[in-house]
């Protein structure tokens, strides 16, 4: 497994790989790898000749009051996990390499990025689309792998790829969960024991909502109310949103007749937790 | 020479070309081809195995009061010129093909794009960078060719390429001029006979300024004043700007000690004319 830190070095390497006609699978991450990331790497390993993993805690997607500085970082541990999972190249640039002084170009999705997470974290998705496009340009992936856990992010990246005529595929893989159903997230380590217990309410309430809908409940307001009631029974700091939306446009749905996604953002202790479920 | 109108068809074609290891030279234009464009095509022809010319009057770079609708279009003439100059593929998409309903992603350079032309034409360069990135993604050029006549545009595109880690080369070729020195532009046809005569003042004043600087004048304000005086002797509608700037940052220069670019935007009749000269 090769570790590359400079963008231009990876560009050169990828050029050689592409010249040999090899396919490149790409897993972009902020490191602090867990089973969710590993599932993406393993899928990439199966479907491509070369697997590139990026580890980059992207400063531009964090708000000024967010946890950029204390975001968990453990490069040696990540390297070991990546190697074991079958990564060929780890791309781990510094912030200075990705954003040299005077950088002034950004990529923005101007519609889907303003709602839900985008409304609560202004500028977040602009940071995400900009860094992901930069990474795509460096890695030139045939297929890139994202987790469904960050559902809105995946939808926005797919939109960017379409809008900017990028010739690359995006695959979104199912959320990986702990045994008790909590969606894996690098930020789960911030939860204390009690909060960790309460956190299972996100997935449990989604599963209950799914059952209600499968049993014929179609009024989204009623479904949302049920979820809210369930979540409020736990010791939480607050609910940012409970939304039922169309899968691609993320527009609100009044009556559930086709596929929808239920999206949750709940604060427990000082941690914001996201979860979602697609209802078919 | 092949004419391709759908982006996905060109993507497929380019993929096949790249698979054969061939290099692609790209000349993006808004059609209405003149000797300036032809010089770009000929250079591309010399330096690449495949030459792609795009002809697309990009709606998003025109302001609401600008000449998008009446911008000169002559596809049959352009095709003949392209063929003669040695183009392999003409890419001529419709606005609907480039911007399908619901398109919501843009690329913006946020610094250089706000001054000079950007200050007068808000949103212009956002339209330019977005369409150029889309075209780059479709055409996958090894080298792209731009004219120096739109100096600021070329600087911004080079900045975008660097900032977004695009693995492509940008070449900027000298402005092609009429015998009497007027810089070629598709909009010159809007000038009546008298205006056409006055229009030569742009290049003449630049040449005079160059001589003044070569003879030791270093105070930019004085140089600008001399240019202004010369231009004002002609029958013009107004001067948008006369600026002396650093080559890459486009920042103002007080005293001319190294390379600079003099940039002019002058309105003659109803036509805005641009010209510039690099002083070494």
Close Cβ partners of A222 (under 8 Å, ≥ 6 residues apart):
none
Nearest to A112 among B21, B104, B165 (CB): B104
Residue A64 CB coordination number (10 Å): 6
Q: How near does any CA of chain A get to the CA of B152, in Å?
A: 15
Closest Cα of chain B to A109: distance in Å?
4
Q: Quick one: pLDDT at residue B120?
A: 97
| Chain B residues inside the 8 Å CB shell of A166 | 137
Percent of chain B with pLDDT over 90: 99
With beta carbons under 8 A apart, name residues in chain B contacting A111. 102, 104
Helices H, strands E: what count in chain A? 10, 10
**Cα gap A184→B135, rounded to integer Å:** 39
- Can you list the positions of beta strands (E) in chain A? 2-4, 24-29, 50-55, 89-91, 105-109, 143-147, 169-173, 238-245, 260-268, 271-279
Q: Do B109 and A108 touch (CB under 8 A)?
A: no
Q: What mean pLDDT is reported for chain A? A: 97
Chain A nearest-CA residue for B112: A104
Of B7, B163, B167, the CB nearest to A165: B7
Q: What's the gap between Cα B102 and its chain centre?
A: 28
Nearest residue to A28 (alpha-carbon basis) of A183, A188, A190, A170:
A170
Shortest Cα distance from B14 to chain A (angstroms)? Answer: 11
Percent of chain A with pLDDT over 70: 100
Please report the ipTM that was assigned to this predicted complex. Answer: 0.96
Quote the CA–CA distance of A89 and B184 in Å, as a whole number.
Answer: 49
- Cα B178 to chain center, whole Å? 17
pLDDT category of residue A203 using cuts at 50, 70 and 90: very high
> Which H or E run includes B26?
strand B24-29
Q: Region of B23 please: left (phi>0), alpha (psi -120 to 50) or beta.
A: beta
Residue range B163-189: average pLDDT? 97
| A248 in contact with chain B, both atoms CB, cutoff 8 A | no
Provide mean pLDDT across the span A178-205. 97
Q: Is B37 a catalytic residue?
A: yes
Q: How far is CA A39 from CA A36, A135, A177, B201, in A?
A: 5, 20, 11, 66
State whether A163 and B105 contact (CB < 8 Å). Answer: yes
| Tokens encoding B237 | 């509608």
pLDDT tens-digit profile of B61-114? 999 999 999 999 999 999 999 999 999 999 999 999 999 999 999 999 999 999
Question: Average pLDDT, stretch B181-198?
Answer: 96
Are A60 and A99 within 8 A, CB to CB?
yes
Q: What is the reported pLDDT for A132?
A: 98
Q: Which of B107, B140, B159 sits opposite A107 (nearest CB)?
A: B107
Task: Give tens-digit pLDDT for B143-160.
Answer: 999 999 999 999 999 999
In chain B, residues 119-158 whose CB comes closer than 8 Å to chain A: 129-130, 133-134, 137-138, 140
| A7, A109, A129 ranked by CB distance to B165: nearest | A7
Q: Determine the Cα–Cα distance for residues B73 and A177; give it in Å rounded to an integer.
A: 58
Contact B108 A111 (CB under 8 A): no
Stretch A34-58: mean pLDDT, rounded? Answer: 98
Give the Cα-Cα-Cα angle B253, B268, B31 (nearest 5 degrees): 90
pLDDT digits (tens, 9 = 90+) for B22-63: 999 999 999 999 999 999 999 999 999 999 999 999 999 999
User: How far B15 CA sits from the closest chain A CA (Å)?
Assistant: 9
From chain A, pick out residues whose CB is under 8 angstroms from the CB of B160.
105
Alpha helices, DSSP H only, in chain B? 7-19, 35-47, 75-85, 95-98, 117-120, 124-139, 151-163, 193-198, 201-214, 220-232
Residue B21, judged by CB atoms within 10 A of its CB (0-12, 13-18, 19+), counts as exposed
Would you tell me how many other CB atoms lie within 10 Å of the CB of residue A243? 21
A159 in reach of chain B (CB within 8 A): yes
pLDDT at B64: 94
Q: How confident is the model at residue B228 (pLDDT cuts 50, 70, 90)?
A: very high
Per-residue tokens: B130: 């977005």
Considering only the beta carbons, identify the residue of B109, B134, B166 that sits closest to A137.
B166
Edge-first strand listing for the sheet containing B143-147 = B2-4, B89-91, B50-55, B24-29, B143-147, B169-173
- Per CB-CB distance under 8 Å, the chain B contacts of A152 are none
List, in order of start, the domains of chain A with CATH numbers. 2-173 (3.40.50.620), 186-274 (3.30.1300.10)
> Looking at residue A13, what is its pLDDT?
98
pLDDT at A151: 98
Tens-place pLDDT, residues A143-166: 999 999 999 999 999 999 999 999
**Which of B109, B137, B163 lies closest to A167 in CB terms?**
B137
The confidence score (pLDDT) of residue B89 equals 98
Query: pLDDT tens digits, residue range B111-144?
Result: 999 999 999 999 999 999 999 999 999 999 999 9
CB proximity A24 to B under 8 Å: no
Is B103 in contact with A163 (Cβ distance < 8 A)? yes
User: Is A107 close to B105, i.e. CB distance below 8 A?
Assistant: yes
Helix (H) or strand (E) holding A85: helix A75-85
Q: In which band, very low, low, confident or very high, does the pLDDT at A84 lie, cut at 50, 70 and 90?
A: very high
At residue A54, the 3 state secondary structure works out as strand
- Residue B191 is predicted with a pLDDT of 96
pLDDT of amino acid B198: 97
Nearest-angstrom CA–CA distance, B96 and B78:
21
Task: Determine the pLDDT at residue A214.
Answer: 96
Residue A102's pLDDT band (cuts 50, 70, 90): very high
Joined tokens for residue B155: 């600087």
Whose tokens are 């977005």? That residue is B130
Tokens standing for residue A196: 């960790």
Residue contact B104–A167, C-beta within 8 A: no
Give me the residue label for tokens 């805690």.
A57
The residue annotated as part of the active site, out of B34, B37, B124, B204, is B37
**B95 at the A interface (CB within 8 A)?**
no
CA nearest to B109 within chain A: A105
Please report residues of B whose CB lies closer than 8 A to that of A163.
103-105, 134
Tell me whether residues B106 and A107 touch, CB distance under 8 A.
yes
* Residues listed for chain B: 280
Q: What is the Rg, in whole angstroms, of the alpha carbon atoms belonging to chain A?
A: 19
What is the pLDDT at residue B60?
Answer: 97
């Amino acid at each position: 497994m090769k570790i590359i830190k400079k963008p231009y070095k990876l560009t050169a390497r990828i050029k050689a790989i592409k010249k040999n006609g090899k396919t490149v699978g790409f897993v972009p991450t902020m490191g602090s790898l867990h089973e969710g990331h590993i599932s993406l790497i393993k899928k990439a390993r199966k479907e491509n000749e070369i697997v590139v993993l990026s580890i980059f805690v992207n400063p531009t997607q964090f708000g000024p009051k967010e946890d950029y500085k204390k975001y968990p970082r453990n490069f040696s541990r990540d390297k070991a996990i990546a190697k074991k999972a079958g990564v060929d190249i780890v791309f781990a640039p510094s912030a200075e390499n990705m954003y040299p002084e005077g950088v002034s170009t950004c990529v923005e999705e101007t519609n889907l990025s303003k709602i839900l997470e985008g409304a609560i974290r202004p500028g977040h998705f602009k940071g995400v689309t900009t860094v992901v496009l930069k990474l795509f340009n460096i890695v030139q992936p045939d297929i890139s792998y994202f987790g469904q856990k960050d559902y809105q992010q995946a939808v926005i990246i797919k939109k960017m790829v379409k809008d900017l005529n990028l010739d690359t595929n995006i695959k979104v893989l199912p959320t990986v969960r702990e045994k008790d159903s909590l969606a894996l997230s690098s930020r789960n380590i911030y939860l204390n024991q009690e909060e960790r217990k309460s956190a299972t309410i996100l997935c449990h309430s989604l599963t209950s909502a799914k059952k209600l809908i499968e049993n014929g409940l179609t009024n989204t307001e009623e479904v949302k109310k049920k979820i809210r009631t369930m979540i409020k029974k736990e010791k939480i700091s607050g609910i940012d949103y409970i939304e039922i939306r169309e899968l691609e446009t993320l527009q609100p749905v009044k009556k559930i007749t086709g596929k929808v996604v239920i999206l949750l953002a709940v604060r427990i202790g000082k941690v914001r937790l996201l979860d979602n479920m697609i209802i078919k």
